[in-house]
Amino acid sequence: MRIRIVDAFTDRPFSGNPAGVLLLTGADTFPDGSWLQNVALEVNHAETAFAHPLPEGAEADWALRWFTPATEVAMCGHATLATAHVLHTTGTHEGPVRFATRSGVLVATPAADGSVTLDFPTAPLTRVDPPGGLAEALGTEPLTVLDTGPNVGDLLVEVADEKTVHALAPDLKALAAHSERGVIATARAEDPARGYDFASRCFFPNVGIDEDPVTGSAHTALAPFWSERLGRPRLTGLQASARSGRVRTELRGDRTLLTGRAVTVIEGELLA
């Protein structure tokens, strides 16, 4: 089986968010979950995506699952983008591809410029009181705190400004107590002339990821939050991790479009 490492939400290698992609082209079901988890642990990136084709007439074209090194997750944007990129660049699938996932059917549509647009469910945001100890764990006082619902499973935390986002050095062990997956910290862009409208960083200690480089699923919550604040459905977010990456978002009611590019950096053979 061919296995690939793909950098997602970037147009250059060694940036964006790397994902393992394994296409099970000859399978009609997934292997045992423990084997999938072991492969993801061996790859040791934020997520590894596994996909197998579905028969004609099914609700989708491919079945898709995502695993961190520690657990299976309900939704992952960058590994979905990486999988669509592999399907299109290898000629395995042409045109929009429908994925059957734990979050419903997700569609990935390629464009002539090489970008891919993902159609994901918009995260339902519910304002909550800041949990006790959150400010200490994050290292800054939150301005606004929202629950992002079951698919995303994070707290969305607005902080004072973009400089604060860049400077965060949270206590990850303490942070793990405050949500199912982790915390999305965000602020308005200091200078929109730089080409983005808001900045964010994502810390997911509960699924074995101290800081995720670029998180598509988080932008299903960031898009409605900032679209309401800024009064525009189309925005660009900068995820200000060490690898960094940008996600173009478009809010369409209960759906959010996420657009980005991807680059395959490693291709090899899985022998186990």
Query: Which residues, 6 or more positions from 91, have their beta carbon under 8 angstroms from its beta carbon?
Result: none
**CA 159 – CA 180 distance, rounded (Å):** 20
DSSP letter for 194, please.
G
In the residue annotation, 141 being an active-site residue is answered as no
CA–CA separation, 88 and 58 (whole Å): 20
Which is the catalytic residue, given 47, 158, 162, 211?
47
Question: What is the helix (H) or strand (E) element at residue 184, kind and residue range?
Answer: strand 182-188
User: Other CB atoms closer than 10 Å to residue 35's CB: what's the count?
Assistant: 12
Instruction: Write the DSSP assignment of 221-252 as a string of letters.
Output: HHHHHHHHHHT-SEEEEEE-SSS-EEEEEEEE
Instruction: Please report, as a single letter, which amino acid is at residue 23.
Output: L
Q: Give the list of residues 6+ apart from residue 108 with CB closer than 8 angstroms, or none.
A: 80, 81, 83, 84, 96, 97, 99, 116, 117, 118, 119
With beta carbons less than 8 A apart as the criterion, state whether 170 and 194 touch: no
Pairing label, strands 104-110, 47-53: unpaired
Three state DSSP letters for 100-160: EECCEEEEEEECCCCCEEEEEECCCCEECCCCCCHHHHHCCCCCEEEECCCCCCEEEEECC
Structure tokens at 7: 């950098």
Query: Which residues are known to be catalytic?
Result: 47
